Amino acid sequence: MKLSALLLLSPACCLAQKSIRPNILVAIADDQSYPHASAYGSTWIHTPAFDRVATEGLLFSNCYACSPGSSPSRASMLTGLFPWQIEEAGTHASSFPSRYVCYTDVLHEAGYHVGYTGKGWGPGDWKVSGRTQNPAGPEYNSHRLVPPVKGISDIDYSANFRAFLDSLPPDQPFCFWYGANEPHRPYTRDAWKKNGKSDANAEVPAYLPDVHEVRGDLLDYSFEIEWFDSHLGQIIQELERRDMMQNTIIIVTADNGLPFPSAKANCYDAGIHVPLAICWQGHTLRHGLEQTTVSLIDIFPTIMELTGTPNTSIPLSGQSLAPLLGLGESEYKPHEIYSGRERHSYARPNNWGYPIRSMRQGKYLLIHNFHPERMPAGDALPQGESNPVNGYCDIDGSPSKKFIIEHRSDPTFVPYFSHAAEQRPEYELYDVERDPDCMNNLAETPSYRSILRQMKKKLSRSLRRMHDSRTGKNPEIWETYPRLRGPMRSFPEE
């Protein structure tokens, strides 16, 4: 469909004059949790480029992804709709129906030069949906490098950004998606030693055992975050070299949380609470730390307002962050924040997922597990087919996963395995201010019954309003969406 038929005037159309429209740079780490950046006070991860964006603009301390998995999270960022509003694009490694318009499509139609490097939307198959390019835009991945360790991608992100700018027509604004493959696994073990760190530097969250294997694994994760940040720094330097920094809005975030047990693929805080910093050098009126709870669903409307681009007639689910930045004419209204997941990997018989919806309201996080009879991290694989450590496939393979599974019978480490992999109740409730690692489920605590009841009602009503099929007549339609990327596995017959 040609987008010009869908365009309506934006309240910020005064910015839409071609000569002054700002450029857009969206930088996305793959699997990075809050607060894993030095701007947040982390002493074991050094992110000078992210810190610069945070210092020159606004640093958000309560940003949530729409899903704890990369494919649905990225689709929500691109469409401005929640995973349960975009059919196949709302699950992992499926398709991306072409009827869902992305902000990249809108900007292209409005005259922007669009492109991406690294990982755009994915994993999944956009071609099967009839699309002619990745939803993130035309690909710029031809420049390669020799990575410092095996786990790092050989894509030269910053060189590809330079190539993109070289192709930019004069006086045309750009929209670029820098999607690093880091800190996604696999990692090169002990890569962190190249940076002169000690395993004493690592900060171990309460949901992981404080042992040498886990500390080293966390530091390998930090090594890859720092690689992502180093290319962000080179990209910013290139903008400065071309005198383009003053007219470029930079948005830096991550698609979901860190790839460790009880984090990625879970709607606990570690799976959906992500970093976010936004700057527009010379334009951002507010600086410092913003504690308002926001969502990556807000990226689409934010870009629309700040660029003065006519909005589509599609009813977006988020709202612009421009007022929090001290820009624009709209108002940001604090509200509940929603996230969810369906299938992550092929982790159960019949390709079944583990459907979750969550809602952050104030300091509380409510989680609804729609199929509590299933194993949240996936089933164990048959002994004769594979080492059982390689089961529980919704947890990425890692030294941390290996440790908690191999020690799951040790009384000292039982709680870590139980939290990550054993069955969960239908509802969970956490006070994420007191318990950010989501270790103490308050759902059965009598003094929290009224809060639980009110939040359950609110979540159910909101999901029905958003036409989530999990609350409708065909809740299992999600299990029919094909898995088009990744390994297929065999499980015992149910």
Give the C-alpha separation, 344 to 83, whole Å. 13
84-103: average pLDDT: 97
Where helices occur in 1-98 by DSSP H, the ranges are 48-56, 70-79
| pLDDT value at residue 473 | 92
Q: Are residues 180 and 236 in the same domain?
A: yes
Is residue 487 assigned to a domain? Answer: no
| pLDDT value at residue 383 | 57
Cis-peptide, bond into residue 35, ω within 30° of zero: yes
Structural tokens at position 270: 């570690």
- pLDDT tens digits, one per residue of 327-382: 977 789 989 999 999 999 999 998 999 999 999 999 999 999 999 999 999 998 76
Q: Are residues 26 and 96 in the same domain?
A: yes
Contact 403, 214 (CB under 8 A): yes
- pLDDT tens digits, one per residue of 299-312: 999 999 999 987 66
- What is the distance in angstroms between the CA of the first residue and the CA of the last residue of the chain? 44
Cis-peptide, bond into residue 183, ω within 30° of zero: yes
* Helices vs strands, H then E, count in the chain: 11, 14
One-letter amino acid of 235:
I
226-249: average pLDDT: 98
Is residue 409 assigned to a domain? Answer: yes
Give the C-alpha separation, 58 to 8, whole Å. 29
Is pLDDT above 50 for 494?
no
Q: Chain-wide mean pLDDT for the chain? A: 93
- pLDDT tens digits, one per residue of 266-285: 999 999 999 999 999 988 78
One-letter amino acid of 146:
V
Q: Cβ of 350: how many Cβ atoms within 10 Å?
A: 9
Q: Are residues 163 and 37 in the same domain?
A: yes
Q: Where are the beta strands (DSSP E) in 87-151?
A: 113-118
- pLDDT tens digits, one per residue of 434-461: 999 999 999 999 999 999 999 999 999 9
Give the C-alpha separation, 270 to 436, whole Å. 8
Structural tokens at position 246: 């003053």
3-state SS of 43-61 is CCCCCHHHHHHHHHCEEEE
| pLDDT value at residue 285 | 83
User: Where does a domain end: 335, 350, 366?
Assistant: 335
Q: What percent of the chain has pLDDT over 70?
A: 93
* Domain encompassing residue 184: 22-335
- Would the CA dihedral through 212, 217, 223, 226 be positive or negative? negative
Nearest Cα neighbor of 343 from 482, 176, 199 is 482
User: Where does a domain end: 285, 309, 335?
Assistant: 335
Q: Are residues 397 and 305 in the same domain?
A: no
Is pLDDT above 60 for 10?
no
Is residue 179 assigned to a domain? Answer: yes
Q: Are residues 309 and 357 in the same domain?
A: no
SS3 239: helix
For residue 125, list its beta bridge partners.
95
CATH of the domain at 218: 3.40.720.10
| pLDDT value at residue 389 | 60
Is pLDDT above 50 for 8?
no
Give the lowest-confidence range in 12-16, 224-228, 270-274, 343-347: 12-16
Burial class (CB in 10 A: 0-12, 13-18, 19+), 183: buried
Q: Are residues 280 and 345 in the same domain?
A: no
Is pLDDT above 90 for 82?
yes
Is pLDDT above 50 for 223?
yes
Is residue 329 assigned to a domain? Answer: yes
Is residue 220 assigned to a domain? Answer: yes
424-439: average pLDDT: 98
| pLDDT value at residue 11 | 38
- Would the CA dihedral through 420, 64, 214, 395 be positive or negative? positive
User: Where does a domain end: 315, 335, 355?
Assistant: 335
DSSP one-letter string for 331-356: ------EEEEES--SS-SGGG----E
Q: Are residues 229 and 345 in the same domain?
A: no
For residue 364, list its beta bridge partners.
361, 431
Is pLDDT above 80 for 493?
no
Instruction: Return left, alpha or beta for 114; rule: phi > 0 is left, psi -120 to 50 is alpha, else beta.
Output: beta
Give the C-alpha separation, 399 to 211, whole Å. 11
Give the C-alpha separation, 435 to 448, whole Å. 15
b/e map 466-477, b = 16+ CB within 10 Å: eebbbbeeeeee
Is residue 493 assigned to a domain? Answer: no
Q: Are residues 444 and 315 in the same domain?
A: no
Q: Are residues 346 and 325 in the same domain?
A: no
Q: Are residues 281 and 411 in the same domain?
A: no
- Overall number of domains in the chain: 2
| pLDDT value at residue 282 | 84
> To the nearest 10°, the Cα dihedral for 239, 244, 248, 254?
-10
| pLDDT value at residue 328 | 76
Confidence of residue 485 (pLDDT cuts 50, 70, 90): confident
Confidence of residue 384 (pLDDT cuts 50, 70, 90): very low
| pLDDT value at residue 1 | 35
Q: What percent of the chain has pLDDT over 90?
A: 86
Distance of CA 418 to the CA centre of its chain: 25
Give the C-alpha separation, 262 to 243, whole Å. 44
Give the C-alpha separation, 237 to 158, whole Å. 10
Contact 111, 103 (CB under 8 A): no
Contact 364, 411 (CB under 8 A): no
Is residue 6 assigned to a domain? Answer: no
Phi/psi at 249 (nearest 5 deg)?
A: -85, 125
Q: Are residues 255 and 143 in the same domain?
A: yes
Is residue 11 assigned to a domain? Answer: no
| pLDDT value at residue 16 | 41
Q: Are residues 59 and 191 in the same domain?
A: yes
Distance of CA 40 to the CA centre of its chain: 18
| pLDDT value at residue 284 | 77
Give 479's DSSP letter.
G
